[in-house]
Each structure stands twice: as structure tokens, then as C-alpha cells.
Structure 1
Amino acid sequence: MAKSDVFRFFDLPPELRCAILTQLLVSDSTVVLHNATLFSPPLSELTGILNIFLVNAQMYREASAIFYSENGFILNAQSHRLPVHLTSQGGFLSEEGQNARRRVRKLTVHLIRIGGEFERVLGPALTDMVLKGSLRDLTLRLGPPSWRTRATRSVDPDMVHRPPFQALLRLLSDPYLEKVEFVGWRVHMSVFCPFHQRKHPSTKTDHESVDDQGLAVLRNGPDWVELDWRALVETYGTGQPIVRIGERSY
């Protein structure tokens, strides 16, 4: 083969390179953040494709820009403590993962609780992804399906006034976020009851009851209920609101 016949990917027009890389790197499903490789099944097929990042510096710039901005990602923190694979060296929430997480545009976070680790680790990381990164579309899901078991769980009436929950409210109201959803499992703490739509119990549709632990159960309803986070911020927010002024500096 003559040297002139060699196909050179970077001789293609930028828009054509973008179209090709989009086909390779954008998944129809959300990408689960797992271990240092960022993946878990059923998306493991992407791990081989990401070797394209290693071709050269230009390929890394173009391919990673598409990968992080066009895919949706899921961070699963449905445990009493943040999973070690997220916080250990090279993990998504580690210092080494800062550059990668700042490039994510769309993220869903599954939480089991809003406690000290949210205030100290997860909340600041998410805030940094917004203020110094590309995060613009955030969904927070509170309460895993395991809540169906209704294990003993004491309800803290002052939870909404404590620093971790206040950190959550500040995050939700960040003006740089373009799309925000806050969703609760149908078995949820009664403090959230005024902040989701309920239908009249005399109908054959959704209605709600509260047990002796203060947990509300939406019966005959969807597994997840969308919470009015703006009303939550207005009712329980105590900090100064973040105001968007001009453009960010990097």
C-alpha cells in the first residue's frame, strides 16, 4: 500500500470525526460509575472502546469530551457509607478523579441517607462539578427499594435543619444547574409529604398513610414520587441563596 493510500483519521473534517466518535462512545443506557474504570455491567462493553483514549493526545481530547458530555452517569451511594470504590485512590470521588468528574454533564445520584458523608464528601464534590465543571443536569433519588422492608428507622424531626440537609438544599438550588429532579421512594419520611403531589384518597388512585415510625407509604402509587425541591428550599433553607452573576472563571 502506498503511503498516500493510508487512511488518516485526523485528516477527516472535525464534524465527521465527531459523528464517528459519537457512534462509538455514546451509550443508549446510563453509565454506572464503578471502580477506577467507571463501569459495571451491562455497560462493560464500553471499557474496550475507551482504549481509543490512549491513541494520542488529540484523540483523548476529542473522544473524552464527547464521552463525558453526551452520556448520562449514575453514582450509587445506597449504603450506610460511601462505597470504597468511589473514594479510594483513582475512584470517582477521589482527588485523582477530579478532572473526570468535572467533565460530566448529566448525573443521577442514588442516596440512602443524607448524613455527614454527604456534607463532607459527596456534597462538596457535586458542588465542585457544578461550579468548576460541566454538571448541568442532576437527579437525586433518595431511598432504595429495600425501604419496602421498613426496617427499624428512627425519624429525626430536626433532620431538615441539620448541616447535611442544608448542604443538599444549597446544591439543589445552585443557579448553574439547568435541570434538577429530587425524587423519593414511595416509603419515605413523613417530612417529605407536603412536597409531593397526592391524590384524594376517596378516589381509586394514590393515597398515603403514615406508620408509627413516621414513614409515609404511598399505596397504589408509583414506586418513586417527585418532590418539589423549590418548595423544600423555600421552607427549610437557612443559608444565603447562590446568585449567578456574569460568567464563571476557570
Structure 2
Amino acid sequence: MVSAKWVVERKPFGSKSIAFRPKPSHGSSSATRWKPRGPFRLFDLPPELRVQILDSALLDCEEQVQVLQIFLVSRRLYSEAAAIFYHDIWLDITDRTVPPGLLAEPITPLSPRLHVHTMDLKIYPKNNLRSFNDVYVPLLREMAEQGSLRALSLEINGRFPRLDFWTDHYSHDDDDDAFCETEVPLLIGPETNTEYLGPAFLAAQPFQAFLGFLSDPRIPKVTLYISSADHYTFWCDFHRKFSSQLGIPCIGGSWRGKSKRLKVNRRHLIRLFRNARAA
């Protein structure tokens, strides 16, 4: 019996001679492969690609002239660029008596402040709170209603509270410490029926207007901070959760931790003292 053998038929390599094969195209230049037809149309790109391009051009560019030129191209490009460039703003107005240019200019459809999404605002009560209530509160509400403001971090430093920061009328003869630290009978709580001994400024109109701003639904997220170096015993009750987590509670209004600012429990503050009045 003859064993079967597998016969493998060998053919020439390839169907054509290597000399007749088409040459690969990777050797051609990029200019040969693609030629632009007219100007590059930025707005033909998907929005997510435009965001990446503008983000790199605006935030990674060291030439301010180039950044300015982007804002001058068209109204549409200005809006998209401003939404990136002014998205997060940090303002320290501790040494200012008037709002900075970003907030002081009259409102227009091209106002930069309409594009601010997150603002960190630091103030110092050299002026009284009436200037904040009368000047800054309307601007911030305007930024939330007509613009993009969704989160505000407000830091108040320097003898907060103090008499000229809360009262409608102030003179240097007034007793600052008595108004801020001397306890007076008050009615507080959600029903305004809880007796409480606390600083007189709690029932004053400026502080009540300030609480109204903190609870304004037009700004979805408001965070209040106070100076850890110079805060009163009164505020200890409203950041105690934070201090107890670190195991560094306040003693007599003196903060022993390393944090320079303390976060206030805004909801607890509003719930207790909104509509507070003298007993």
C-alpha cells in the first residue's frame, strides 16, 4: 500500500512582478495629499474642538496681544472666547473703595462679567456693609440673572463684624465692641420665637439684608468665609464642624489652626438669624 502524500503546489510570489506593483503613496508630500480650499472655517468644527482650540490659545498663550486679537474677530468668537477666559475669576478688593473695572463698567451684551461662572471675592470692611449691599449685591445678582454666575465664594477679612460694617449710621464716638460683642436679648429661629442672647448687629437691617443675599436663589451656590486671624466668638458656632474634624477647636474666639480662612455654615446661619429681632 502506497502512503498518500500531500502535494503542495508552489506558485510564484505574488501575481505580478514586483517591478509592476504600484508604488506606495506615503512618500508624497502633505501638500500633494491635501490642499486647502479657501480660508479655514473655525465654526465648521464641532463645539468641543473649538473649546479645546480656544482654551489653548487663550490660557496657554503668553502674548497678550494675540489674546486681544481673538476677542476682536467677531461677536460670536468673542462670546465663545469670553466664556473660557472669564470662566473663573478671583478678585481681591480689600484695598479698593470702588468696584474694579470688571464690575464697574455699564452692562452691555459684551460685558466680561456676564461670562463669569465662578467668582472668588475677597473684601475688607474698611467701608460699611451698606456699600456692599448697595453696590456689589446688585452687580452679583445681575451676573446671575443675565449672565453665567453660578458659584460665589465670599471672604470677609478684618474685624468682621465691626460697627461701621453693619450699621446704617456710624460715628467714631460709637462703642464698636459693645455693638459687636455685648449680648442683647433677641428672638431668633425659623419661627422667630426662640430667646437668644447675642450681638446687637444680628437684628440690624444691614446684616439682615446680607442674610437675604446669602439665601438668594438666583445664585445657586454661595460660600461664606471669615478671617481665622480675627474672628469673634460668635462665629465659632458656625464653623465648629470644620474645626472639630481637625481636632483644633476655637478657644474664646481664637483659632489655633493653620487655615487662614474658616468656612461658615451658611444654612445654619440663615436658619437661626434670618428675621431676628429684639426681644
TM-score by length of 1: 0.67
- With over 3 angstroms needed to count, the CA separation of the structure-2 counterparts of 1:176 and 1:45, relative to structure 1, is farther
The corresponding residue for 2:45 is 12
In the TM superposition, what is the alpha-carbon distance from 1:93 to its structure 2 partner? 2.5
- Give the corresponding residue for 1:24: 57
3-state SS of paired residue (1:208): coil
1:108 aligns with: 120
Alignment of 1:208-247 (within 5 A): 208-210=250-252, 216-238=253-275
Which SS does the other structure have where 1:217 is aligned?
A: coil
1:52 matches 2:70? yes
Q: Does 1:164 align with 2:206?
A: yes
Cα gap change, 1:190 to 1:15, in 2 (>3 Å): same
**1:96 aligns with one of 106, 124, 138:** 106
8 Å Cα contact 1:118/1:164 also seen in 2: no
Tell whether 2:89 aligns with 1:73.
Answer: yes
- Secondary structure (helix, strand or coil) at the match of 2:104 reads coil
Give the C-alpha shift of residue 117 in structure 1: 0.6
- How far residue 97 of structure 1 moved from its aligned partner, in angstroms, is 4.9
| CA distance in structure 1 between the partners assigned to 2:254 and 2:69 by the alignment | 47
Confirm or deny: 8 A CA contact 1:78 1:144 kept in the other structure.
no
Report the CA distance between 1:62 and its aligned residue.
2.2
Query: 1:163-222 CA deviation, whole Å, 9 max, x = no partner?
Result: 33223212221223333211111121232121111657xxx9413233xxxxx2201342
Contact map agreement 1:119 1:163 (CA 8 A) in 2: no
Q: CA deviation at 1:95?
A: 4.3
2:147 is equivalent to residue 140 of structure 1: no
Gaps of 5+ in 1: 28-42, 146-152, 211-215, 240-250
In our comparison, the structure showing a higher alpha carbon Rg is 2
Instruction: Give the Cα separation in 1 of the matches to 2:91 and 2:118.
Output: 11
* Letter of the structure 2 residue corresponding to residue 138 of structure 1: L
Report the residue type matching 1:194 in the other structure.
Answer: D
Distance, in Å, in 1 between the alignment partners of 2:221 and 2:81 is 25
Q: What's the RMSD between the two structures over aligned residues?
A: 3.3
SS in 2 for 1:167: helix
Give the TM-score normalised by structure 2: 0.61
Cα pair 1:76 1:111 within 8 Å, conserved: yes
- Over the matched positions of the two proteins, sequence identity in percent amounts to 31
The CA distance in 1 between the partners of 2:137 and 2:272, in whole Å, is 20
Structure 2 unaligned blocks of 5 or more: 1-30, 160-174, 181-198
Return the alpha-carbon distance in structure 1 between the equivalents of residues 146 and 134 of structure 2.
Answer: 18
Aligned residue pairs total 201
